[in-house]
Amino acid sequence: MPHVNSAPLLEDRDRRDTPALCIPKLTQAEDFYDKNLAKKIFQHDLEQLANHARLSAVIEQSGKSDSLFEANWAQVVLWSEESRYEIHTQAEAEQITKAVEDQDHGVMQCIKQYW
């Protein structure tokens, strides 16, 4: 099976397909003077971002009611900014892309409801 670097497939998504997009709705401009808050939300730990975006309970409930979403979230949450530079197979890259983009059970479909 050929190896591919998943960075080109996921590089653009890591900035726009995360719970971080929900955080601005919960903050005021002056909130970002809090350096500790800024450190907590300007990062790539999806579980922490979901928590700060107040999406943890939604994600947990979605997983309880939809086992396919639960499996997709479990796969996506393993992603890290370091892993995008690792060598992955084409199948692995396609699998994580599907977990994010699946129209019925994907992580994006869940998160987009709260933007």
pLDDT digits (tens, 9 = 90+) for 55-106: 999 999 999 999 999 999 999 999 888 888 899 999 999 999 999 999 999 9
Spatial CB neighbours of 9, under 8 Å, sequence gap ≥ 6: 93, 97
What pLDDT shows up at residue 8? 45
Q: Any alpha helices (H) in 5-115, and if so which ranges?
A: 7-10, 13-16, 35-41, 46-52, 56-65, 67-76, 90-101, 107-112
pLDDT in tens, 33-60: 667 777 777 777 889 889 888 999 999 9
For the record, the structure tokens of 109 come out as: 């479909």
Split into its structural domains, the chain has a count of 1
> Do 46 and 77 contact (CB within 8 A), yes or no?
yes
- Which structural domain, as residue segments, surrounds residue 61? 3-112
pLDDT at 15: 47
Does the predicted TM-score (pTM) go above 0.85? no
